[in-house]
Amino acid sequence: MLNTPEDPKPKAPNFYPNPSEDFLFVQRQIEVQTQHMIYDKRGRQVDHQIKSGTLHALEVSSLSSGIYFVTTQDKNETILFRMIKK
């Protein structure tokens, strides 16, 4: 008999490329509706996008160059990621 977890926790999403120019991709292991909020370094929300599926393409071409924080939130967890915009 194998001893395996009944409900293994999926790995955290993968964010790429970083630095980003036009799009930031968020690759998830499971299909889920997710809110993505982008904040500038002063904490002001500059974008909000809702995506479904396993690969989310966040359009960031309109943002100025600099450092941003991306909050990815689904029904189970919230993840914070630092993004550099070219």
Q: Above 60 in pLDDT, residue 40?
A: yes
For residue 3, what pLDDT is reported?
A: 54
Residue 61 gets which letter from DSSP? T
CATH number of the domain enclosing 63 = 2.60.40.1930
The answer to whether residue 39 is domain-embedded is: yes
The answer to whether residue 53 is domain-embedded is: yes
Domain tally, the chain: 1
- Give the global pTM: 0.84
Structure confidence by residue, pLDDT tens digits, 1-31: 455 555 566 678 999 999 999 999 999 998 9
Q: What angle do CA 60, 17, 80 make, to 5 degrees?
A: 75
The answer to whether residue 1 is domain-embedded is: no
Structure confidence by residue, pLDDT tens digits, 69-80: 999 999 989 999
For residue 12, what pLDDT is reported?
A: 85
CB 27 within 8 A of CB 20: no
For residue 2, what pLDDT is reported?
A: 53
The answer to whether residue 69 is domain-embedded is: yes
Give the pair of three-digit tokens for residue 62. Answer: 């309109």
- Domain housing 46: 14-85
